[in-house]
Amino acid sequence: MNERVENVKIQWIEFENLKTGLRIERIYFNRDVTLLVGLSGAGKTQILNAVEYSLNLAVDKDVILRPYRVGLGIIIDQEEYEWFYEIKKTTEQGLIMEEEGRYGFFYEKLLRDGAMVFERKNTEVTVLGYEKVPQPKKDESLILQYSEDKNFGKLIAGIHKLYSVEMELAIRGGLGSENFRRLKSKVIDRIESERQTEFKMFSHLPVAMKLYVAKRYYPGLYIKIFDAVKELFVELEDIDVEEDTVREMYLVSIQVYGKKLLQVDISNGMLKTIYYMVELFTMSEDSLVLIDEFENGLGVNCIDVLSELMLSERNDLQFIITSHHPKIINAVDKDKWRIIDRDGSTVGNTGSLAYGIGNSQHDAYFNLINRWEFEGKI
């Protein structure tokens, strides 16, 4: 299925963990940048996790089911999709049990522009355009099960664009040699079989693989990445990917002052910056980028430049990020903030104006901190 979509944005999510009782009230996201601002433990990371989990659940059959009740809104080429699902423990007969059985879909509904596309109520299923449908798998979303149906082509293509980019990967881990060679072979075959292959065909590959491909087959793209990193680290002479035969891994390597350093010897701040830059310049159009605590592991000199690039370089991307760093919070227009507050097991959210922190961007962060101090939260 090669459905083409050009404008994909996540609109909102609401979430409840049926096991722990944690509930996230519906939160709306901006089409460009949404900054989740709140104290530690307020629920910012849970919001990112709920978004990522739901998107993966719709396209990946290996996602482990959890007892969640979720609603999610997505815009795809001006069409509005609303997806609701509820996962509970279930027996083989489909009866809901609280203490026994494995997890399965108890309820699921998909709307397109307000009209029902499908609805599942335990074992009863209705699908638009079908009088009879086969018994659905209890452990897979209907979106996943109908992914090859042409009526779902636009939705599936859109969700695949809405992949999250996990910047907190174990970047010290590298890419196993066998896996690297397998991916490399597929990439080369694709490039050699199709003239003028666009790099976006490889945008979901691991960072090390994308860097390797960019340097050898897309020099213009590689130069953009290299120049962006060098702006922060002027001593940088080269960035590459090489095999460490001892570890049987392919690792990012750099050259500084005529000396080559493998990934394991590169500072965490520089290595994370390289990963950010590779992702920023190679992500496919309309990607959704989830970044938890953007500033973690970055040097002070990196935060300003990376924040500016993130907010200006790729206008097609949608960012949902969390941060505690004043520089990052102040760099994002306060109208893009969603202030996250937790009352027991309920996670709420408010815009900056409604939260009462003033009209001035300059004073917004200062007023926010003052309010939290006055309320005894910090």
Query: 184-188, 263-267, 311-315: which has the highest mean pLDDT?
Result: 184-188
pLDDT band at 37 (very low <50, low <70, confident <90, very high): very high
pLDDT tens, position by position, 149-178: 877 888 888 887 776 665 555 455 678 999
pLDDT tens, position by position, 40-96: 999 999 999 999 999 999 988 889 999 999 999 999 999 999 999 999 987 655 545
Q: Greater confidence, 353 or 35?
A: 35
82 touches 12 (CB < 8 A) = no
Q: Is the pLDDT of residue 359 over 90?
A: no
Q: Is the pLDDT of residue 225 over 60?
A: yes
Specify the pLDDT at position 98: 47
Q: Is the pLDDT of residue 131 over 70?
A: yes
Taking the C-alpha atoms of residue 202 and residue 186, their distance in angstroms, rounded to an integer, is 10
Task: Annotate 25-88 with DSSP letters as a single string.
Answer: EEEE--SSEEEEE--TTSSHHHHHHHHHHHHHHHH-TTPPP-SEEEEEEEEETTEEEEEEEEEE
Using DSSP's 3-state secondary structure scheme, residue 247 falls into coil
359 touches 367 (CB < 8 A) = no
Taking the C-alpha atoms of residue 42 and residue 193, their distance in angstroms, rounded to an integer, is 51
Query: 94-108, 141-155, 233-247, 356-370: which has the highest mean pLDDT?
Result: 233-247
Q: What is the mean pLDDT of residues 131-151?
A: 84
Specify the pLDDT at position 95: 46
> pTM for the complete prediction?
0.87
Specify the pLDDT at position 151: 77
Specify the pLDDT at position 338: 96
Q: What is the mean pLDDT of residues 341-362?
A: 89
Taking the C-alpha atoms of residue 307 and residue 303, their distance in angstroms, rounded to an integer, is 6
Torsion angle of the four alpha carbons 163, 166, 171, 174, in this order, in degrees rounded to the nearest 10: -20
183 touches 212 (CB < 8 A) = no
Q: Is the pLDDT of residue 189 over 90?
A: yes
Give the rounded percent of residues in the chain with a pLDDT score beyond 70: 94
